[in-house]
Amino acid sequence: MAGRRASAQAWLRGYRDAAATVGAKATLELSFADGKPERLPGLAADLVGRGVQAIVAVDEPSFKAASAAAGSRPVLVGSIVTPIDLVPREVELLSALRPKLSRVAVLVNPANSSHRPFFDAIGAAATRKGWAALGVEIEHAIDLPAAFEDMRANNIGAVVIADDGLFSQDALQIAVLGRQRRMATVGQQRSYVDAGCLLSCGEDPEPLFRSLATEVDRILKGGKPGEPAAFRPARVPIVINRGTAKAIGVAIPPAVRKSASFVEGG
């Protein structure tokens, strides 16, 4: 994983749930780049050197590094793209929650090539709304405070977070920086809202990881690996942090209340 150990909890819960169901027994070797994607090739090579039978990658930088090092070992992919089909819903939600919004930023990791089409999709949807869209490239978590200051100077009213281990591991910092500057922060996993971001629009990763763990078990029992493929959400749960909405002055209209679930963050 590109993130820290804390970002692996959804994968571990999903794997253990599936393992308990199918009776899988395997030793897990966990490797984390701590938000430094340049470490991933070395970590992948180390796993191969330990004789692992399969490598699980849950973001694109990890997938690239694992694929380069894996040799004949299968690489199983949890997610390597940010679903573009979520963009229209995210933009409509922002429009409803921030009717006077005129400038939106997108946090992207330049090491993740799936972020370019995601930003382009946000930009196109923003243009249709009459908004300006700004891409903000972040390679290391230490750059986040300065980036949020630049966004405040550019009158950014909302920040959409492209899905990436680099950002999910620092969801709390992103949430705090956004609240301090009264920006609406939008992620694709509920963990962002639990950390204090305003809104999430995307699937819970644990069911995806349970499916992936079942595939790991099948391969370890001698099954042939399928082609690497990214999982896409079948539905789009919406979660809103009421405490953050109140803190940044966002009123939740009735139509959004009907389709969303809520956490009572302070």
Tokens 């962002």 belong to: 192
Identify whether the C-beta of residue 2 lies closer than 8 Å to the C-beta of residue 33: yes
**Tokens (6 digits) for 244:** 């953050």
Among candidate residues 23, 35, 82, 51, the one with its CA nearest the CA of residue 201: 82
Q: Could you tell me how far CA 252 lies from the centroid of its own chain?
A: 24
The mean pLDDT of the chain is 87
Q: Are 112 and 164 within 8 A, CB to CB?
A: yes
Taking the C-alpha atoms of residue 37 and residue 21, their distance in angstroms, rounded to an integer, is: 33
Q: Say whether pLDDT at 233 is over 50.
A: no
202 conformational bin, left if phi > 0, alpha if psi -120 to 50, beta if neither: left
Enumerate residues 6+ apart whose C-beta is below 8 A from 136: 105, 106, 107, 108, 147, 150, 151, 159
Helix segments in the chain, DSSP class H: 9-22, 40-49, 60-70, 87-97, 115-129, 144-153, 165-168, 171-180, 190-195, 205-220, 242-247, 254-259
Q: Tell me: the pLDDT tens digits for 214-232? A: 888 888 888 887 655 544 4
Average pLDDT over residues 59-81: 85
168-217 residue pLDDT tens: 889 999 999 999 999 999 998 888 999 999 999 987 666 777 777 788 88
Q: What is the pLDDT of residues 14-25, one digit of tens each?
A: 777 776 766 667
DSSP tally for the chain: helices H, then strands E? 12, 9
Alpha carbons 52 and 88: distance in angstroms, whole number: 41
Distance CA 147, CA 168 (A): 16
Give the Cα separation of 99 and 40 in Å (integer): 42
Model pLDDT, residue 194: 92
Mean pLDDT for the stretch of residues 112-124: 89
Name, in order, each residue with C-beta under 8 angstroms of 242's C-beta and a sequence gap of 6 or more. 252, 262, 263, 264, 265
CATH top-level class of 84-201+236-263: alpha beta
Task: Find where tokens 């999903």 sit.
Answer: 14
Nearest one of 143, 256, 263 to 197, comparing CA atoms = 263
pLDDT at position 6 is: 62
Query: Smallest Cα–Cα separation from 57: which of 38, 23, 32?
Result: 32
CB-CB contact of 206 with 14 (8 Å):
yes
- Contact between 29 and 47 under an 8 Å Cβ cutoff? The reply is yes
Q: Would you list the domain boundaries of the chain?
A: 5-81+205-220, 84-201+236-263
d(CA 191, CA 201): 11
